[in-house]
């Protein structure tokens, strides 16, 4: 399968995800209840901010690891 470049990544918690999470906890949540929960107050915006924060931290970590790996590779050359 050919990977395509992504200009933008969209992450979301859907009502279906919420229903599955509740099912994993042994509880039932219907579609309408899940939608109501996600839309209640500022909950959707707060979750979006949390996902952005987590994404930024992941990117920083990945960039740091890539930079460190690059430094390690350049320092592991032959020594005289």
pLDDT tens figures, 2-54: 677 777 777 778 899 999 999 999 999 999 999 999 899 999 889 889 999 99
CA distance 38 to 18: 9
Residue 65 lies in a domain: yes
- pTM beyond 0.85: no
Residue 53 lies in a domain: yes
Task: Give the sign of the dihedral formed by CA 56, CA 59, CA 61, CA 64.
Answer: negative
CA distance 65 to 58: 10
- Report the chain's C-alpha Rg in angstroms: 20
CB atoms within 10 A of CB 51: 14
The domain of 39 spans 15-70
Q: How many domains does the chain have?
A: 1
Are 18 and 34 in contact by the 8 Å Cβ rule? The answer is yes
Residue 80 lies in a domain: no
């Amino acid at each position: 399968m050919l990977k395509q470049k992504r200009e933008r990544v969209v992450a979301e918690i859907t009502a279906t995800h919420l229903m599955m999470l509740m099912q994993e906890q042994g509880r039932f949540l219907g579609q309408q209840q899940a939608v109501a929960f996600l839309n209640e107050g500022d909950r959707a915006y707060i979750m979006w901010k949390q996902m952005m924060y987590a994404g930024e931290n992941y990117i920083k970590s990945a960039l740091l690891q890539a930079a460190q790996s690059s430094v390690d590779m350049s320092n592991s050359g032959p020594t005289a």
